Amino acid sequence: MPDVLVLPGDGIGTEITPEAVKVLQAVVKGRSTSLNFNYGLIGGAAIDEAGKALPDETLAAAQAADAILMGSVGGPKWDTLPAGERPELGGLLKIRKALGLYANIRPVKMSPMLVDASTLRPEVVKDVDLVVLRELTGGLYFGEKGRKTDPASAYDILIYSEEEIRRIVELGFQMAGKRRGKLCSVDKANVLESSRFWREISSEMAKDYPDVELTHMYVDNAAMQLIRQPNQFDVIVTENMFGDILTDLASMLGGSIGMMPSASLNGTKGLYEPSHGSAPDIAGQNIANPLATILSGALMLRYSFDMEEEAQMIERAVEAVLADGYRTPDLAKPGDKVLGTREMGNAVVEALGS
């Protein structure tokens, strides 16, 4: 029986992960594969209970698990700690690096039910169906960083090896090949040497994928094009920080960041988490949207356990609940039926059979 390690983390993480577990348990019930859930500490919760954001025990459990379901980390309580000890760097970035989860898949698909929830005009967002592939263990977030004196200054180094670029771009070509055959590599090659290197390598790789059309776009232009005409994109592949920024932006193309799941893969194992953060401002009130985490559970079934049918059951159940007019507050408009976090989880479970 596959082992899933659940790491709820902080803030709304502790509210949204139980809903995803509930849905996963319901969808595999009576199927040939059942899932075994174990729990661990990460982030601020781990700092408080075990003294550091990624306890050795958690890392060992993650290494042993078949897949990991994570909530979110961070909060004002831990913001004053030294950077390396904070939930973000010392917990989340550390587990990504330790497990070698270099490929972060963030799909954005506009649900017909949510076209009006986006802050963008319906005709702009109605057909959006794209995937951002974000490099997750290199680049600016993992390069050497530090401070200097005289004059006081700070630096973060952006460095990519050829191998790091190849493996993520290769996945981009493969994904685009299975979708609409369009891969857009996003960089800042008019300024950055690392981007020129990225562009050289990806252009050379394109020869091996004659069925995929490779284009290149500067990251500033990509931000504008994503808002201007998002349906021009199929698969976007990009550096760690560019991907971090562009995926928050792109989440609004799917109605709300509360809808955007993610999968972080290393070729054999996956960590699944919503693309959003721990939202301390709304934590503990049963109002957070659990759908991004529930949809991350669907990605787990798809990518870690080859359970495509069950993954689609979850995705259809989410659509069905939205079609019935149910919304969490982040998505609600006047007249919608507003549900809390737990109630939304229950609604998805009920819709599974539909």
Give the binding site for ligand IPM (CB under 6 A).
74, 88, 92-93, 244, 275, 277
Q: Is 56 a catalytic residue?
A: no
Binds 92: which of ligand IPM, Mg ion, none (CB < 5-8 Å by kind): ligand IPM
Give the nearest distance from C-beta 135 to ligand IPM in angstroms. Answer: 11
Q: Choosing from 10, 244, 272, 330, which is the catalytic residue?
A: 244
Q: Is 188 a catalytic residue?
A: yes
Q: Choosing from 66, 248, 324, 336, which is the catalytic residue?
A: 248
Give the nearest distance from C-beta 104 to Mg ion in angstroms. Answer: 10
Q: Is 220 a catalytic residue?
A: yes
Q: Which is nearer to Mg ion, 234 or 244 (CB)?
A: 244
Please report whether residue 239 would count as binding Mg ion according to CB under 5 A. no
Contact residue for Mg ion among 10, 244, 310, 330 (CB under 5 A): 244
Binds 44: which of Mg ion, ligand IPM, none (CB < 5-8 Å by kind): none
Binds 277: which of ligand IPM, Mg ion, none (CB < 5-8 Å by kind): ligand IPM
Q: Is 116 a catalytic residue?
A: no
H, E, C per residue of the chain = CCEEEEEEECCCHHHHHHHHHHHHHHHHCCCCCCCEEEECCCCHHHHHHHCCCCCHHHHHHHHHCCEEEEEECCCHHHCCCCHHHCHHHHHHHHHHHHCCCCEEEEEEECCHHHCCCCCCCHHHHCCCEEEEEEECCCHHHCCCEEEECCCCEEEECCCCCHHHHHHHHHHHHHHHHHCCCEEEEEECCCCCHHHHHHHHHHHHHHHHCCCCEEEEEEHHHHHHHHHHCHHHCCEEEECHHHHHHHHHHHHHHHCCHHHCEEEEECCCCEEEEECCCCCHHHCCCCCCCCHHHHHHHHHHHHHCCCCHHHHHHHHHHHHHHHHCCEECCCCCCCCCEECCHHHHHHHHHHHCCC
Q: Which is nearer to ligand IPM, 141 or 173 (CB)?
A: 141
Binds 110: which of Mg ion, ligand IPM, none (CB < 5-8 Å by kind): none
Catalytic residues: 141, 188, 220, 244, 248
Give contact residues for Mg ion (rule: CB under 5 A).
Answer: 244
